[in-house]
Amino acid sequence: MPIRKVYENSIEFVQVMDEQGVIDERLGKDLLSDEQITFLYEKMVEYRRLDEIAFTLQRSGRMYTYPQNKGQEAAALGSGFALRKGVDWLVPCYRENGALFLHGLPPELIFLHWMGDERGNAIPAGVNVTPIAIPIGTQMLHATGMAWAFKQRKEDRVVCTYFGDGATSEGDFHEAMNFATTFKVPCIFFCQNNQWAISVPREQQMASETVAQKGFAYGARSIQVDGNDLLAVYKVTLEARERARAGEGPTIIEAVTYRLGDHTTADDARRYRDSEEVAAWAQKDPMIRLRKYLEGKGLWNDAKQQVVEDRAKAFCSEIVKKSEGIAKPDVNDMFDYLYAEMPEELRRQKETLRTHSLGQDPSQAGLRSSAASAR
């Protein structure tokens, strides 16, 4: 029998706006209006400022460990803007603040989460966002299950789950991809490839040249995008959303970006990253790119920048005030919000604040003295 080729594929890399803020007119035509780009740039400034404030709060002992989003804002905002608020669902990791805020998540909840207050995970009704996921990769399984349920119910919804390059080395990623593609669920797998899985560079944790090509093993549409190009991210996410709605199954998007900060505030990336590498990526900062575009179109100047930065400061001050000024939780909360209907055993614990039987019923103490007298 002759040898024949049974499979062949390739990965497309999509870029609409280059690092100098110049748009490819063919790809960028009618993609986003200047008003929309301006809006998203202003949000980027606000959220970058919020990120810096969170870092400061942690360093001053007012917040626990925090993962900065700095440098990855275009990936979050571009994808979030392409999804339908109140219809589609976002299942995040922990570097998608911009997308979550666009979809209605109150920013103070993110602060509360990292301050160790469980109320930060109480997502308001109508906000189609799940709590941020700290375990690496588990949220992809949740997203796949949600998307399958929407398909079964014939609901016009798409689920977008976010994760890092390191998560694709976890078994959860492969199980989720296999199920999602086999059943063609309306799910987008959005990988923020920021080049580092904590201190391990991408090339040391996988042999594949790209993250996106891993989707080929499961039959997913796989694409790579400039993750610092907000327009390109918006474009590929919008296309993935429409494919999912049309019943064509999942898309895996690899957004090539960079983590400009440490992995978290508990990390010191200077121990393992080359300063020249960081400096080179800093020149690709998505915020710089967008500002160059707006300035080139005559839509931006220093005066407008100052107005937005002043507004960002006021916005952040309000968020800090809300998160630090929240009332202390009531001790009964641990009982009241555990079950829909409180079990009898839990009711006794709540009333006595004791778990042992003597604490719950002190009259039993008399039984002990009676037993001693009998002896």
Strand bridging mode 221-226 / 251-256: parallel
Pick left, alpha or beta for residue 330 (phi over 0 → left; psi -120 to 50 → alpha; otherwise beta). beta
Q: 3-state DSSP helix/strand/coil percent for the chain, to nearest 5?
A: 50, 10, 40
- The token pair at 193 is 């490839």
The active-site residue, picked from 157, 202, 263, 291, is: 263
Asked if 226 and 79 touch (Cβ cutoff 8 Å), the reply is: no
The active-site residue, picked from 270, 272, 347, 368, is: 272
Annotated active-site residue 113? The verdict is no
d(CA 296, CA 136): 41
The active-site residue, picked from 48, 259, 289, 291, is: 259
Annotated active-site residue 375? The verdict is no
- The string of DSSP letters for 52-104 reads HHHHHHHHTTSS------TT-HHHHHHHHHHSPTTTSEEE--SS-HHHHHHTT
Task: Give phi and psi for 221, each to the nearest 5.
Answer: -70, 130
Annotated active-site residue 263? The verdict is yes
Strand bridging mode 221-226 / 13-14: parallel
Residues annotated as part of the active site:
259, 263, 272
